[in-house]
Structure 1
């Protein structure tokens, strides 16, 4: 076995979303030596990375770690696919591009984070006449607050009828978004309502704007920055940015974690911390409704019709237009549980399922999260779910004993989906061997807290109200024709059964190396340093202690931007010298 060589500088373990932000910012000072270690290869020139709608073609390749959960008892024994990028740029190279945000992660306040969100992205410029058709009237005036490397756009057909119809349907139900969710400036700005969602897709090139193109490519020739796959020991600091599954695995293999788990695999404990605990994820479920033949959808691509694929690929390569410029997810909305009886049922469940009242760090952490989430779940003014639309049918798991279709159907569809935003269920990820090549054991424990199933069921029932609201209802065939008959939900119990059968992961994993005080069950400090271990930080989504209403991509960029400033301040690293 070759001896590791020493590197006199900062080593970043993981060239993913957060890792490349750090590589860019820390190498601005030419006196600093920065080394990035990445397990995957550079696929940034691969058309499957560049073209937005082709991202799913990477999921069955070496570009994806291809993790799976252990069987989930509360999802009828199903194992759920968990995708994480195994390539330069990490998951930002294979995700679905959606770039929405809600500020206020516990530990870092809104004011501290706001400027880092803005530092990461550049907001698209749109004319006033487009605001109505996009459903974003009234909150596009503060575009100049952002000037970062990730380029955002309203991807796909800006004039697609779903955009304006979606906005008007939610407004007809009294749900109007009063501010841009990426640029919320005060608590008085409501985050209830609908909007056209932003994507991390360059508005000029119509290509994925991600950690490689935004942060790495412009600076990859800096002489003080290197990228390797060899074993290295750092003399200054090691920053682990390997993601929510791999970062805890690296810590545990290094002797940092629960001694009971470490000794089981013959690893000598170095520091006792709750590494790998507190795993959170957003589950999503939806219903596909049939639409008229004249509406633009992605169904022919979903069915992988050769003529449609050839036509779309040619259009994209020739002019950067057509269906491959977007994944078809054009609209979003944030909502509370609308039904008062529904909120009352949730309140009763909250009283019946109080967290443990012990003094252990895990108990204290659970009590804190419970209090934070409870305020949201019983409020009529705070969102507990994100609603979305996709211009195409969504293929979800089905009950094999039913008549539900398992594959794509003929025709055209629009899918309306619900994402559970504030789950109380907490899972774990731990090593399954002392062999670094063995995948970790991942157990999200979906719906282990019954409140989550109740909240999601209440929101799934409200989808029917949205689908029947004008003018959105005019896009659907009447009476409503659901792709899957099992999605015709009439009771809370039927909705619970449906989501247990068909819900999947939104890939918004967080929390396994939580940024909290050690006495509250944290793994890293407010400076992202591993408690009790010198010269070691974790900077990625695993450090985010509590997932928010929104997609997690923007928060990871902001987290890494702020981490870079903290590290610069500690070591006296200068900014913007190269």
Structure 2
């Protein structure tokens, strides 16, 4: 073991890891170190410029994982995960939408004491400052959020259109969803640049003498020792490959915290001997804690979408999306001189989180009962315990039958999106609007597992298998196809929006046609959770309600991987809240 020793080692300088670094180093008596595999890209213009975020996929700041071929979809799916200080908060879009109260209470109902919504909301509010119009700011958290006024033509048309068909505007940070949303973005209104974990949480505290941060440093193993056969394993330190390529170790006095994300956190546990014993033995890894749930319960939002032609006399940002020289030049000029235009935003703030009305009537509930009965219980993953499969289905059923809970997340944009296009890069001529349609609460569950114990692969996208198993639970196809049909019907009746569209004919009155469309066009969002789930071990858990790894006395996981039930929409806000809660638990336990 190296003579270099810290009180707390944080593996991963992403969204969660930098929240922990800030909060734990508030105690001057704790020596904290963060080890991040990626670079510090806080000076990169593409990182900081909001409208440039699509350029960050498949860049050096992205792990760029690939799923195995999907049995029930027509495509293999790329998984962007941030490989830089700030993690995915440095490369993904900016939408800051919390989840519903029912979702958080669903986590608690799995057996996670302390995860009530009031506690979660307190942690969430600690993370941000929300800037509204006329200079009004709420909160004192490090992350800076900008809320658009909602006064553009398309924003007003979307809000008014949904109100006209019975869905009022809602507050995306309230925990009470079910209507149209103007989403806050993690953009600093003073600088017009991305606000993310690196410049919000880390930069203000980089000079603390008790905090060290090392980039381009890939941890390959947590060093675990078991004092006796019936005792919990103890983390003594970590092995890593340093920036110069040499293998090194660091010792730990108190805690090791893995915050490497939904793909890399289970990978690191397995490389360290925590996982399915049979898998680890096949790869020549010493089994420290035999827990077959590690890497299971991978969840993500599946989405498709619809496009509609806009009238010729209204403005859209299609020309910018087609990268036409004049439109790009004007956008760059607007951003450089005024901090406005399509380069100043994700261009996706107009949203809705909506119920699915067809399951709210007595007849609809009977149909849903029939679907659950016909489709079979627990079909989302063969590795899921019966107890969790039943709990997951109870939760999803409760959402589907509630008039006030969001079944789907809908993202509206004033440009063509290639849902049903010849290629992902295709951009149609003319003017369009698009609606992305996400399945908020999938029952399909996948997995992440290592395929090699070779430490040289740990800093790459190789040496592991990601199997999302999209649509493996048949109810997901049923619900998402009905969302497609519902979206088309809803927009056809939303006159304040439809008045700006060209006439069109409905394509999906037939449910089977909608199902075929979903199979052909669906893709995965960047919202991966669940692979180190927080719940009782017997139910399928990897960590307990204070994020401690089962079978280990001083090892925790704190990131999106611990979330056991997928949030309703973009998980950025959820991850910040989880990290704030984790920091509170750790500080309490280290006293």
Q: What TM-score do the two structures reach when normalised by structure 2? A: 0.86
Aligned to 1:475, the other structure's residue is in SS state coil
Residue 349 (structure 1) aligns with = 371
Q: Does 1:555 align with 2:574?
A: yes
After superposition, residues 108-257 of structure 1 pair within 5 angstroms as: 108-126=115-133, 144=138, 146-155=139-148, 158-177=150-169, 179-184=170-175, 190-228=176-214, 229=217, 230=242, 231=248, 232-257=250-275
User: Cα–Cα, structure 1 residues 303 and 381, in superposed 2: closer, same or farther, change >3 Å?
Assistant: same
Residue 85 (structure 2) aligns with = 88
Q: What CA distance in whole angstroms lies between the structure 1 residues aligned with 2:290 and 2:552?
A: 11
Q: What CA distance in whole angstroms lies between the structure 2 residues aligned with 1:407 and 1:374?
A: 37
Give the aligned CA root-mean-square deviation in angstroms.
Answer: 2.4
Residue 72 (structure 1) aligns with = 70
Q: What CA distance in whole angstroms lies between the structure 2 residues aligned with 1:67 and 1:454?
A: 28
1:405 CA displacement: 9.0
User: Cα–Cα, structure 1 residues 98 and 342, in superposed 2: closer, same or farther, change >3 Å?
Assistant: farther
Contact conserved, 2:56 with 2:91, CA < 8 A, in 1?
Answer: yes
1:46 CA displacement: 1.1
Deviations 1:43-69 (A, max 9, x none): 112111111111111112111111111
1:169 CA displacement: 1.1
Q: What CA distance in whole angstroms lies between the structure 2 residues aligned with 1:568 and 1:4?
A: 26
Q: Does 1:512 align with 2:531?
A: yes
1:412 CA displacement: 1.9
466-475 or 552-561, larger mean C-alpha shift: 466-475
Contact conserved, 1:8 with 1:33, CA < 8 A, in 2?
Answer: yes
After superposition, residues 422-501 of structure 1 pair within 5 angstroms as: 422-436=441-455, 437=457, 438-468=462-492, 469-477=494-502, 479-480=503-504, 488-501=507-520
1:5 CA displacement: 4.9
User: Cα–Cα, structure 1 residues 93 and 109, in superposed 2: closer, same or farther, change >3 Å?
Assistant: same
Q: What CA distance in whole angstroms lies between the structure 1 residues aligned with 2:174 and 2:345?
A: 23
Task: List gaps (5 residues or longer) in structure 2.
Answer: 218-241, 243-247
1:345 CA displacement: 3.7
Aligned to 1:286, the other structure's residue is in SS state strand
Task: Compare the two structures and name the one with the higher strand fraction.
Answer: 2
Contact conserved, 1:62 with 1:86, CA < 8 A, in 2?
Answer: yes
Residue 409 (structure 2) aligns with = 386
Residue 529 (structure 1) aligns with = 548
User: Cα–Cα, structure 1 residues 295 and 261, in superposed 2: closer, same or farther, change >3 Å?
Assistant: farther
1:488 CA displacement: 3.0
Deviations 1:471-507 (A, max 9, x none): 1001212x138xxxxx932311111111111111221
Deviations 1:58-103 (A, max 9, x none): 1121111111111111113x21111111111000011111111123
Aligned to 1:8, the other structure's residue is in SS state strand
Residue 385 (structure 2) aligns with = 362
Residue 325 (structure 2) aligns with = 306
Q: What CA distance in whole angstroms lies between the structure 1 residues aligned with 2:325 and 2:276?
A: 52
Contact conserved, 2:378 with 2:384, CA < 8 A, in 1?
Answer: no
1:204 CA displacement: 2.3
Q: What CA distance in whole angstroms lies between the structure 1 residues aligned with 2:186 and 2:350?
A: 14
Contact conserved, 2:164 with 2:496, CA < 8 A, in 1?
Answer: no
Count of equivalent residues: 538
Q: What CA distance in whole angstroms lies between the structure 2 residues aligned with 1:336 and 1:411?
A: 32
Q: What CA distance in whole angstroms lies between the structure 1 residues aligned with 2:504 and 2:395?
A: 38
Contact conserved, 1:337 with 1:343, CA < 8 A, in 2?
Answer: no
Q: What CA distance in whole angstroms lies between the structure 2 residues aligned with 1:162 and 1:197?
A: 14
Task: List gaps (5 residues or longer) in structure 1.
Answer: 129-139, 185-189, 482-486, 573-578
Q: Does 1:408 align with 2:408?
A: no
Residue 307 (structure 2) aligns with = 288
Contact conserved, 1:328 with 1:392, CA < 8 A, in 2?
Answer: no
Residue 5 (structure 2) aligns with = 7
87-96 or 364-373, larger mean C-alpha shift: 364-373
Deviations 1:165-190 (A, max 9, x none): 1111111111124x523134xxxxx5
Q: Does 1:325 align with 2:344?
A: yes
Q: What TM-score do the two structures reach when normalised by structure 1? A: 0.88
